[in-house]
Chains A and B, each alone.
Chain A
Amino acid sequence: MEASKRERCVRPQRAARGQKEKRTTAQKVVLWVVFGIFVLYAVSLLIPFLWLLLNSFKTRLEFSAGVVSGNGGLSFPAEFDIANYYEALIGFRVRVGSGESASDVNLLGMFGYSILLTATTTFLEVFFSAATAYVMAKYDFPGKRFIFAMVLISMVVPIVGSLPVMYRFMGKIGLRNTLPGVWFVYVSGFGFGFLLMNAHFKGIPWTYAEAAQIDGASHFGIFFRIMLPMSVPQLLSLAIITAIGYWNDYATPKIYLPSMPTVAVGLDSLTKEIQKTSDYPLMFACMLVAIIPILVVFACFQKAIISNVVAGGIKG
């Protein structure tokens, strides 16, 4: 009975959504003009990468010849040679660190550092965001409002100038240039993930927990065995979006972990080194290799990523 009532309410809404708006000719013209502008903007976003792709297969001489002829690299390579990609991934190295701890790292090594840093930090951030959000959403305790207010203030009020003090503090406690140090800087439990998970946990009925309590489950048991498994899709979505942020981040690993250059950090050094040799096709190959993992993840989880950004933005 309830279900059929709901159906009756939902159907007209769905029909309304499915129905195409009737538009005047002027409105149709406007939409097509806008479509043209949108296409141009989309092309402007794609062209730089297509240009990099085309030229990444060229030899240095071929690219230089194109530049001299004034075609701006807008020509197909004589041969689609992947030598630049091999060189970008394995061959070309940059020196990191100084003194005895100095070492040469290639892009493959940087991928390793990025994977290690991104995987561990994402796991910790998602776990602490979920734990904090669950407690704040489901328990009423003294100081809860104060904590919530402080978190919101810290998100809204921008205080700059603390970077040198934080850098000094990390050195003092011996966490500078260590992986746990970067975990400490990144993982807070109060951030975008907290807002997202807080809204999610608020939406889960407490009756699940009550049923488990009757069966003798503890508070930890309810959280780990019931609430977290029920939130796997949200946790995965959050993990993907958090991981992309950590993978792309430049400043934190650059400042706090210089001995382990991630792709974002190392790419900057790599391209600066390559520019000295004017081997631009190699540089283009490096840049493209660096974004392949992100593009693959985006292609696979595009809907989850966009919907989470939207949810986080609106709830935030």
Chain B
Amino acid sequence: MENAKGKERKIRKRKYNLSAGAIVFICVLLAYPVIHFLITWVYINSQTIALSFTRYNPVVNDYQIPNDIFYNYKMWIDRFLHDERYSSILWNSALYIPVTCGITLPLSVVCSYFLYKDVPGKNFFKVIYFLPSILPVVVLTMAFRLGFDTFGWVNALLRAIGVENPPIWFGTKILTPAMIFFYCVWAGIGYNVVLLSGAMARIPRELVEVGRLEGINFTQEMTKVVIPLVWPTIVTLFTVGMNTVLTIYLQAYFLMGSAEGNFNTGTIAMYLFGNYSNQQQVPQLAAFGLLCSLIFVPFIFLGRKIMNHFFKEVDY
């Protein structure tokens, strides 16, 4: 038995051709990342799942499994269906999908295409457009909001061109979310543009030349040559854009000045960020997060799958 095990080990060792020194080296260098992954991903996520089926018991100061283990999930489903405060969190978060994937991404593709077509000053534009990506969100959001404040430069310009009563940009139920979405588009284009420009720069000139010889115009070249060739990058950005439904919060948090937000600007991630330190609520928050993931992750994967069907990846 011992012999058989030893033989097997030897065969495996020969297959991988690893010396004892190599095994030690691999183990030492991978020890921290693997342990970290096991703790922060496997353990924390499994704990999150386990705790989502419990309730906090103040008597014993611990989490206990209630008679109805789906209590937290049922509570959230009920809140999402019947309480406007919570359903608006889902709705607000979901609206970021059309904003990022339906507005920011297409605008970024068009911008990148014209930078690729050598619009005058393209390098300058790339640098300026990338600036929002390297500045702290807290500064960028404040700079944006102050401009639209009652004393800001936007209203002053509007008054100068004859608009007597400019709107209160961050003060109404309809305009406030619209301004947050506008901010996301305004600040979000640059990062996409840099990535897409990089992908477009890798397109062999010969491929574009062929189209040009056939007399295609800008629109045809963009839609029939360039976009199919950079499609994998577009799909990646689309997926990242869809993920914002679960991850976005800082923009609305800083623009509204609190985690609660006003005028229903709260998102899934903002709700978690605003309540993470309340230990009594851990089971409810875990269930909330997991339920939101269960609702939106299938859409994210479906969106990615549909996008992948449009064009096949081409090696060039």
User: What is the interface of chain A, defined by CB distance below 8 A to chain B?
Assistant: 13, 16-17, 20-21, 26-27, 30-32, 34-35, 38-39, 41-42, 44-49, 51-52, 67, 70-74, 128, 131-132, 134-135, 139-142, 147, 150-151, 154, 156-169, 184-185, 187-190, 218-220, 223, 244, 247-248, 250-251, 255, 263-264, 267-268, 271-272, 280, 284, 287, 290-291, 294, 298, 302, 305-307, 309-311, 313-314, 316
Closest chain B residue to A13, Cβ basis: B205
Q: Does B311 contact A (CB under 8 A)?
A: no
Grouping DSSP codes into helix (H, G, I), strand (E, B) and loop, the A interface class, with mixed when no group exceeds half, is: helix
A31-B120, A49-B143 known; A154+B268 contact, CB < 8 A: no
- Nearest-CB distance from A241 to chain B (Å)? 9
Query: B275-309, CB under 8 A of A: which get 1 and which 0?
Result: 11111011001111110110001001000000000
In the complex, how many angstroms separate the beta carbon of B253 from the nearest chain A beta carbon? 9
B interface SS class: helix
B206 near A309 with CB under 8 A, answer no
Docked complex: B111-143 residues within 8 A CB-CB of A = 111, 114, 117-121, 124-139, 142-143
Candidate in A13, A20, A271 with the most chain B CB atoms within 10 angstroms? A271
**Cα–Cα distance between A70 and B209 once the two chains are bound (Å):** 54
Choose one: A47, A157, A161, A185; the contact of B147 (CB below 8 Å).
Answer: A47
Extra A-B contacts (18), CB below 8 Å, given A51-B152, A161-B288, A223-B29: A21-B212, A38-B119, A41-B189, A48-B144, A51-B147, A70-B159, A132-B33, A134-B29, A160-B247, A162-B286, A164-B279, A164-B286, A219-B25, A264-B136, A267-B136, A291-B136, A294-B136, A310-B198
A-B contact pairs, 25 of them (CB 8 A): A48-B143, A48-B144, A67-B151, A72-B152, A74-B157, A131-B33, A140-B16, A158-B247, A159-B290, A160-B268, A161-B52, A161-B288, A162-B289, A165-B44, A165-B47, A166-B44, A167-B276, A169-B43, A188-B40, A190-B33, A263-B136, A264-B136, A264-B137, A302-B127, A307-B198
Query: Whole-angstrom distance between the alpha carbons of A163 and B118 in the complex?
Result: 45
Does residue B176 face the partner (Cβ distance < 8 Å to A)?
no
Flag if A244 contacts B134 (CB, 8 Å): yes
CB distance from A216 to the nearest CB of B (A): 12
Hey, which chain A residues are within 8 Å of B129, CB to CB?
Answer: 41-42, 45
Interface membership of B174, Cβ < 8 A: no
Q: Count the B residues whose beta carbon is within 8 Å of the partner chain — how many?
A: 109
Q: Which of B's residues lie within 8 Å of A, judged by CB?
A: 12, 16-18, 21-26, 28-30, 32-34, 36-37, 40-41, 43-45, 47-48, 51-52, 111, 114, 117-121, 124-139, 142-144, 146-147, 151-157, 159, 186, 189-191, 194-195, 197-199, 202, 205-206, 209, 212, 217-218, 233, 236, 239, 243, 246-247, 250, 254, 257, 268-269, 272-273, 275-279, 281-282, 285-290, 292-293, 297, 300
